Chains A and B, each alone.
Chain A
Amino acid sequence: MKKTNGLIAASVLAAGVMLGSAPVSAATECIAPSNPGGGWDFTCRSIGRILGDLGLVDGTVQVTNKAGGVGAVTFAYVAAERNDDPDLIVATSTVGITQIAQGRYPAPLETMRYAAMLGADVGVIAVDDESPLQSIDDLMAAIKADPSAVVTAGSSSAGGWDHIRLLLLAQAGGFEDLKALRWVQFDGGSDAVTQMMGGQIDVVSTDLGEIAGFVESGDIRILAALSDDPIPAFPDIPTAKSQGYDVTGYNWRGLYIPGGVSDETYDGWVERLKTVYDSAEWQDAATGSGLVPIWRGGSEFEAYVREQEKAMADVSRNIGIIE
C-alpha cells in the first residue's frame, strides 16, 4: 500500500503533461486521505462526480489524494489550515474512526463535523467450505470450548475494525476472555481467505466486497453477515441478528467537513449529500463496487459515529490495545 503512496501529484502531473490541460480551478474540493484506488478515493471520486453531474456544486469537484498516517495527516492539515473552509469535504470510514478511538489522530473526534454516510461494505464471518462450523452458534461453541483452537484472521491489525467486529460478536455470544482468541493480520481480505483455503487459519472476519468472488465460487461459506438486513446480492446469507446476535459490523463510507463551519453550511452539505444518496447514479456506483447503499446523515450520523467510537475504545481497552 505505501508504495502506491500518492498519486495526486503524479496524476496531476501526468494529466497535465499528457493531456496538455491547464490546471482546473474548482471551488469544491474532496480530499481522499489515501492513495488512489482505495475506498476513500472511491468515495471522493464517485460522490464528487455525482455532485458535479447533479449541479449541486459550482463546476466540478476536485479530488485530492493526501495519504499518510491512515488519515491522520489530512486530519491535522484540515484542523490547522482549512478549519472554516465551507467548500471542503473529506472522505472517511470506520477505519478512520478506529484510529481516533485508539488515540492515533492528532485531535479528538469533535474536531470535525461528520456529515453523512452513503454506503457500507458489510462485514462477514467466513469459514472454509469444508469447515465443520455451520452457524454462529457452532462458532461460539467452538470458541468457548477452547479459544486457542480457533484461529481467526482478517485484513486489519489486532485492534483494527475486522478484529473488533469479530470480538463484538463474540461478546454478544457471552464470550468475555477476548484476549484469548487468536488473531492473524493479513494485507487484505483475499489474502486471508486464501490462507484459510490453504488450511492455515479457521475463520475470516472481513468486508464482503473483496471476497465475494470466493463465495460465488463456493470455496468459502459465510456464517453470518453483520448487517441489519440480508445483503441484496446474497439474500441467502443469514445475518447475525437473525441468529440471535445483535451485532452489526458495517465498514461505512462517508464524509466529514471542517469543524469551524457554520450550522447552515453543515446542514447544506447534509442536504446535498442526501440528494446524491437518492440519485440513481449513486445507487449504481455503490452496488457496482460491492457496497450496500445505506443513509445516515446529520445529527443522527454524528451520534452514530460517537457511539461507534465508544464501542471501539471499549473493546480496544479490553484487549489491551489502549490503556
Chain B
Amino acid sequence: METLSLLGHGFSVAVSPLNLLLLVSGCFAGTLIGAMPGLGPVNGVAILIPLTFAFGFDPTSSLILLSAVYYGCMYGGRISSILLNIPGDEPAVMTTLDGYPMAQKGQASDALAISGVASFIGATLATIGLTLFAPLLARAAIHFGPADYFALYCMAFATIGGIAGVDPRKTLLSALIGLMIATIGLDPGTGIPRYTFNSFELYDGVDAIVALVGLFAISEILILLEKRLVQANDGLRVRFRMPRWSVIRHTLPASGRASVIGFLAGILPGAGASLGSVMSYTIEKQISNARNTFGKGDPRGVAAPESGNNAASGGALIPMLSLGVPGSGTTAVMLAMLITLNVQPGPLLFEKQPDLVWGLVASLYMANFTLLILNIPMIGIFIRILTVPTWALLPVVVAISFVGVYSISNSHFDLYLMIGFGLLGYVFRKLDITLVPMVLGLLLGIDMENNLRRALSISGGDYSILVASPIAVTLYALTALFLAVSVWLSLRDRRRQADPAHQGGALD
C-alpha cells in the first residue's frame, strides 16, 4: 500500500507539462536513435546529457528524459534488425535471427507489431518488478560473486551453439573468434596492453558497435555489389496490413517467459540487455522449437529477444537506483549525470530523493504506453523503407553507419576498423559462418573473462572457487541439463526428418 501511494506521488511529479513533453520527445528521439545502425542507447543518452545541462533541467526532469530515450532505443533497435538484417544496437542482434526472415516472407508489419508488443510486455513487467521489489532484489543480487557471473556467462555461451545450428563447428568457430577479439586492449586485471601492436587506438579494445556495424552493414553492401545490381529489387512485395491479433496472441507466452529471464539478467550489475536477449532467445528456442521453425521467421523468435532486452533494461535500473551500481553501459552514463547534478547515488537514494525515484518509475510506465502508441502507427512508415530499391537504400544505411561510428569515437581509426570487419563479415558469409555468435563472443567475452580473473584473484589462483558457491553449481547444472535436452532434441529431429509424416511446416 505504501508503495502505491509513493507511486501515486511519483505520477504527480511526472505529470508536469515539462516532464510530459520531455517524455514524449525522449521516446520519439530514442526510437529513431535506436533504429539507426551505429547509434544505440549509450550514445543516445550521452548525446542528450549536454542538452540537459544547457537547458538547466532539474535532476528529476533530466532523468525522465534520459530514461525515455533509453527505453525508446530499446524499442527502436529492432526496426533495422527486422527490415534490413542490420541490428540498430547491440541487444537487437538476436532479433535479426527471426525478424529478418519474417520480413523476407512479407510479414514485416507483423514482425514489427509483434516486437513492439513484446517490447511493451517486457518493459512493463520489468517496471512492475522495479516498483514492487527493487530494494529487495538489489540486496539479493549482491550475493552473486565473480565465480557465479562466470558460470552465468558459461551458460550463455553453451546455449549459443543452438542459435544458428547449420554446422555447430562453424558456430563455435565464429564465437571463438569473437572471444579472441574481446581480448584486445588494456587487460582490465593488470592494465597491460594485449594485442594492441603499440597502437593507442586499440588500448580501449574493439568497440562492439564498430564490429557490429562493420559485420552486418558493410558486409551487406559488399554482398550487394557482388550481385552487380542486376536484381534491382528484392523487397518490393511489401504491403502494410494491420497486424493480426491472432499472430500476436500466439507470441504472448514467449514474451512472458522472456521478460522474466531478461529481468533477472538485468538486475545483475554488469550483465545487462545483451545477455538478457541472448538467454531469452536461446531458452525460448529450446522450449518452442518443436517444429524447427526458429531461425526461419518464427514470431516467437522475434518476441522473445525483444521482451528480453526491454525487461533487462528495466531490471538494470534496480541496481542503479537502489545501490548506485550501474547494471549496463547506459545506466553508467545516467549515474555519472546524476552525480554531476549533485544527486548522491547509493542505498539511501529511495529515502533521500523520493521525488526523483518515484517520478522516474511513474514516467517509465508512461513511457511504455507512449512507445507502444507511437510504434504501432509508425509501422506503416517504417515498412515503406522496404519499398526503396536495395541499391538505393543500402548506400544510405552505410552512410548513416559511418556517421554513427565516427560520432562514437571521433576517430578515423574506427572507420577503418569497421571496414575491416565488413570484409571479414563478407568472407564469413561466403563461408556460411553465422556472424551472430561472433558478435556475442565480443559482447559477452570481456565480462566473462573479467569475472573469471576476479574469481581467481580472490582465491589466489585456486580453480576450485569456480564451483565453491551453490549459485555457480546450480547454474552449471542447468547448463548441463540444457545441453542434454539440446542433444536429445536434435536426435529426435533427425528421426523426424527421416519420417515425412512428422515434417514440421511453418507456423502460418
**Minimum CB–CB distance for A80 against chain B, Å:** 12
| Residues of chain B contacted by A214 (CB below 8 angstroms) | 324, 346-347
Tell me the nearest residue of chain A to B344, going by C-beta: A213
Q: How far is the CA of A197 from the CA of B346 in the complex (A)?
A: 13
**CB neighbors of B among A75-127 (8 A):** 76, 102, 104, 106
| Residues of chain B contacted by A69 (CB below 8 angstroms) | 200-201, 203-204
Decide yes or no whether A172 CB sits under 8 A from chain B.
no
Q: How far is the CA of A65 from the CA of B340 in the complex (A)?
A: 16
Interface 1/0 per residue, B463-477 and A, CB below 8 Å: 000000000000000
Q: B204–A67 contact, CB under 8 A? A: yes
**Minimum CB–CB distance for B159 against chain A, Å:** 23
| Residues of chain A contacted by B201 (CB below 8 angstroms) | 68-69, 73
Q: A10–B346 contact, CB under 8 A? A: no
Q: A5–B190 contact, CB under 8 A? A: no
**Minimum CB–CB distance for A22 against chain B, Å:** 15
Q: How far is the CA of A217 from the CA of B139 in the complex (A)?
A: 14
Decide yes or no whether A248 CB sits under 8 A from chain B.
no
Q: Which of B329-337, B363-371, B378-386, B493-501 contacts A (4 or more CB under 8 A)?
A: B329-337
Decide yes or no whether A303 CB sits under 8 A from chain B.
no
Decide yes or no whether B236 CB sits under 8 A from chain A.
no
**Minimum CB–CB distance for A67 against chain B, Å:** 7
Q: How far is the CA of A285 from the CA of B144 in the complex (A)?
A: 36
CB contact between A4 and one of B42, B269, B450, B457 (< 8 Å): that residue: B42
Q: How far is the CA of A104 from the CA of B187 in the complex (A)?
A: 13
Q: B46–A11 contact, CB under 8 A? A: yes
CB contact between B209 and one of A3, A7, A11 (< 8 Å): that residue: A3
**CB neighbors of B among A181-206 (8 A):** 182-188, 190-191, 194-195, 197-201
Decide yes or no whether B460 CB sits under 8 A from chain A.
yes
Tell me the nearest residue of chain A to B210, going by C-beta: A5
| Residues of chain B contacted by A212 (CB below 8 angstroms) | 344, 346
Q: Which of B93-101, B119-127, B407-415 contacts A (4 or more CB under 8 A)?
A: B407-415
In the complex with contacts A194-B323, A213-B347, A321-B51 CB distance below 8 A: no
Q: B342–A199 contact, CB under 8 A? A: no
Q: B325–A199 contact, CB under 8 A? A: no
| Residues of chain B contacted by A213 (CB below 8 angstroms) | 324, 344-349
What is the number of residues of chain A that contact chain B, defined by CB distance less than 8 Å? Answer: 70
CB contact between A104 and one of B143, B193, B325, B348 (< 8 Å): that residue: B193
Tell me the nearest residue of chain B to A64, going by C-beta: B410
Q: B269–A216 contact, CB under 8 A? A: no
Decide yes or no whether A52 CB sits under 8 A from chain B.
no
| Residues of chain B contacted by A38 (CB below 8 angstroms) | 336
Q: How far is the CA of A35 from the CA of B204 in the complex (A)?
A: 12
**Minimum CB–CB distance for A229 against chain B, Å:** 22
Q: How far is the CA of A76 from the CA of B411 in the complex (A)?
A: 14
CB contact between A216 and one of B144, B270, B348 (< 8 Å): that residue: B348
Q: How far is the CA of A213 from the CA of B350 in the complex (A)?
A: 11
Interface 1/0 per residue, B231-274 and A, CB below 8 Å: 00000000000000000000000000000000000000110000
Decide yes or no whether A230 CB sits under 8 A from chain B.
no
**Minimum CB–CB distance for B328 against chain A, Å:** 9
Tell me the nearest residue of chain B to A319, going by C-beta: B190
| Residues of chain A contacted by B337 (CB below 8 angstroms) | 37
**Minimum CB–CB distance for B92 against chain A, Å:** 15
| Residues of chain A contacted by B324 (CB below 8 angstroms) | 190, 210, 213-214
Q: Which of A12-20, A133-141, A258-266 contacts B (4 or more CB under 8 A)?
A: A12-20
Q: B342–A68 contact, CB under 8 A? A: no
Q: B409–A289 contact, CB under 8 A? A: no
Tell me the nearest residue of chain A to B320, going by C-beta: A190
| Residues of chain A contacted by B205 (CB below 8 angstroms) | 2
**CB neighbors of B among A53-67 (8 A):** 65-67
Decide yes or no whether A157 CB sits under 8 A from chain B.
yes
In the complex with contacts A3-B207, A18-B51, A69-B203, A37-B333 CB distance below 8 A: yes
**Minimum CB–CB distance for A23 against chain B, Å:** 14
Tell me the nearest residue of chain A to B39, going by C-beta: A10
Decide yes or no whether B224 CB sits under 8 A from chain A.
no
Decide yes or no whether B146 CB sits under 8 A from chain A.
yes
Decide yes or no whether A231 CB sits under 8 A from chain B.
no
| Residues of chain B contacted by A238 (CB below 8 angstroms) | none
| Residues of chain A contacted by B325 (CB below 8 angstroms) | 188, 190-191, 194
Decide yes or no whether A235 CB sits under 8 A from chain B.
no
Tell me the nearest residue of chain A to B140, going by C-beta: A198
| Residues of chain B contacted by A13 (CB below 8 angstroms) | 47, 403, 407
In the complex with contacts A69-B204, A214-B346, A195-B145 CB distance below 8 A: yes
Decide yes or no whether B142 CB sits under 8 A from chain A.
yes
**Minimum CB–CB distance for A167 against chain B, Å:** 14
Q: How far is the CA of A321 from the CA of B188 in the complex (A)?
A: 13
Q: A182–B458 contact, CB under 8 A? A: yes
List B residues at the A interface (Cβ < 8 Å).
39-40, 42-43, 46-51, 53-54, 142-146, 185-193, 200-201, 203-205, 207-209, 269-270, 319, 323-326, 329, 332-333, 336-337, 339-340, 342, 344-349, 403, 406-411, 450, 453-454, 457-458, 460
The 6 nearest A-B residue pairs measured at CB: A213-B346, A37-B336, A69-B200, A69-B203, A157-B191, A198-B142
Q: A36-B336, A190-B325, A194-B319 are in contact. List 12 more A-B contacts (CB 8 A).
A: A5-B207, A7-B46, A9-B406, A15-B54, A36-B50, A76-B200, A191-B269, A197-B142, A198-B143, A209-B339, A211-B346, A217-B346
List 7 A-B pairs, Cβ < 8 Å: A3-B208, A11-B49, A37-B340, A104-B193, A104-B203, A209-B339, A289-B340
